[in-house]
Chain A
Amino acid sequence: MKATQLPPELRVPVITTYDEAVLDRIGNTPLLKIKNIVKDLGNKDIEIYAKAEWTNPAGSVKARPALRMVRDGLASGAFKRGMELIDSTSGNTGVAYALIGRILGFKVNLVLPSNVCKARKGIMAKQFKANLILSDPMEQSDGAIKLCRKLYQENRDKYFLPDQYNNPSNWMAHRDTTAREIFEQTKGRVTHFFAGIGTSGTLMGTSRGLKALNSGVKSYAVEPAESLHGIEGLKHMESSIVPGIYDISVYDEKISVTTDEAYHMVSRIEDEEGLLVGTSSGAALVGAMKLAARIDKGVLVVIFPDSCEECVVAHGEF
């Protein structure tokens, strides 16, 4: 039987290149109700929703800022035709840059600690053809940032460096998209917002956007409780160099979550809600549940940044 004789639902198109329309599918992610774990709260008038950011192309919340930083760079002239993108990443932003580079036709160089899990490295390098530059795992993300900065300084004409930690386009992406979507999806009912902090772009932008729409919305930074932790993508601010875009006046309170609490919640989300999510999603929901224990009513929205099924299974092994 020829392919054309197959019923439409069985025909698989031969993809020779990525269509730019893929980029139009970044954002407008579903808002999912947490139906079962919320029962821990008893009869309180509390609803909790998760923003399913892994449904973005490239599989994470980072598709939003990555696209915005690239587009703003192109618009400002900082990213000129023929230049290559270079940035440091602990994973998700790198995958997003790699996809966007493949679609828009520029070379992507990603500097990352060598212990980033093999699955992510494979997606960046094999699927999306990015050039990976590995840094010393002992120095974690700081080592990648330093190496990236060095490579950029040595060849500034060659590279466009978005610098996700210090680029306002990072948080603006969330102010202009994530916040508006959450407000519309909850029909303006959102009262509390929760996001983990890595670059802090999600928290900064979404908090600013939501508070502009309703100044009564409270926002919460979810942070690893310990400097040595296993919550991928998040950082312990006190023991780290603070990103330039991080501003403590933007949110209302910080909630600390241990690695064990986050891992346990990831398992519960899988078992009770049927969702395979990364450890930062587990941490964010722990943060929301801690706050929920202190209040009587509210519509809480939590960012679930990625799924990273392979990382959940490996629990940090690589």
Chain B
Amino acid sequence: MAVNVRIPTPLQKLTGGKGDVTASGGNVKEVIDHLEKNYPGFKEKLYSEDGELRRFINIYINEEDIRFIDSDGSQVKDGDTISIIPAIAGGSGKIQK
């Protein structure tokens, strides 16, 4: 299954600045494994050392939070959009006037 993955700003360093990438897999975990192959270091940002999705990372399949489906075992289908959204980090800075 080919899906579109929306990458949050703090992870775009790994994707060469891309905010949207394509990946494939039958469920969220497989999609993340695929991302790890293309963008090494990706997985360790999302998972804790004991293999659990870090609790401040929220992943959505389209509009649905995977916590309320089957966590990273949640199935994906062709054309789905997966959004990786961290908890709110604090303020940023100066914007060009």
State whether the Cβ of B8 lies closer than 8 Å to any Cβ in chain A.
Answer: yes
A138 touches B87 (CB 8 A): no
Instruction: Tell me the nearest residue of chain A to B8, going by C-beta.
Output: A138
Q: A115-B85, A316-B55 are in contact. Are A138 and B13 (CB under 8 A)?
A: no
- Report B26 CB to chain A, min CB distance, Å: 24
**CB of B77 closer than 8 Å to a CB of A:** no
Bound CA span A230–B8, Å: 13
Residues of chain B within 8 A (CB-CB) of A149 are 95, 97
Contacts of A318 in B (CB 8 A): 58, 87
- Tell me, rounded to whole Å, the shortest Cβ–Cβ distance linking A277 to chain B: 16
List A contacts of B8 (CB < 8 A): 137-140, 228
A260 contacts chain B at the CB level, 8 A cutoff: yes
Which of A46-54, A69-77, A185-193, A240-248 lies at the binding interface? A240-248
Stretch at the interface among A21-29, A231-239, A290-298: A231-239
Q: Which residues of A contact B95 (CB under 8 A)?
A: 145-146, 149, 241
Asked whether, in the complex, the Cβ of B56 is within 8 Å of the Cβ of A229, the reply is yes
Write out, one digit per residue, whether chain B residues 1-35 have a CB within 8 A of any chain A CB (1) or not (0). Answer: 00000111111010000010000000000000000
Query: Are A242's CB and B94's CB within 8 A?
Result: yes
B88 and A90 within 8 A (CB): yes
User: Which residue among A89, A137, A149 has the maximum number of chain B CB atoms within 10 Å of its CB?
Assistant: A137
Does A118 belong to the interface (CB within 8 Å)? Answer: no
Chain A, 26-58, contact with B by CB distance < 8 Å: what is the 0/1 string?
000000000000000000000000000000000
Select from chain B the residue with minimum beta-carbon distance to A153: B97
CB distance from A222 to the nearest CB of B (A): 12
Give B48-65 as 1s and 0s: 1 = Cβ < 8 Å from A's Cβ atoms: 100000111110000000
Number of interface residues of B (CB under 8 A): 29
Contact status B93-A115, CB under 8 Å: no
Assess the B90–A198 pair: CB atoms within 8 A. yes
Query: Would you call A259 and B89 a contact (CB within 8 A)?
Result: no
Interchain CB contact under 8 A, B87 and A235: no
B88, A141: Cβ atoms closer than 8 Å: yes
Instruction: State which of A88, A89, A232 has its C-beta within 8 Å of the C-beta of B89.
Output: A232
Q: Name 28 A/B residue pairs within 8 A (Cβ), A-sorted.
A: A90-B90, A90-B91, A91-B88, A115-B85, A137-B85, A138-B8, A138-B83, A139-B8, A140-B92, A165-B93, A165-B94, A224-B89, A227-B13, A228-B45, A229-B89, A231-B89, A232-B88, A233-B89, A233-B90, A235-B92, A236-B10, A240-B92, A243-B91, A259-B56, A280-B90, A315-B56, A317-B55, A318-B58
With A141-B88, A243-B91, A280-B90 given, name 10 new contacts (CB 8 A): A137-B8, A138-B19, A141-B91, A227-B13, A230-B55, A230-B56, A232-B88, A232-B89, A233-B90, A316-B56
| Chain A to chain B: the 9 pairs with minimum beta-carbon distance, closest first | A230-B56, A198-B90, A316-B87, A316-B56, A241-B93, A228-B10, A227-B10, A233-B90, A243-B93
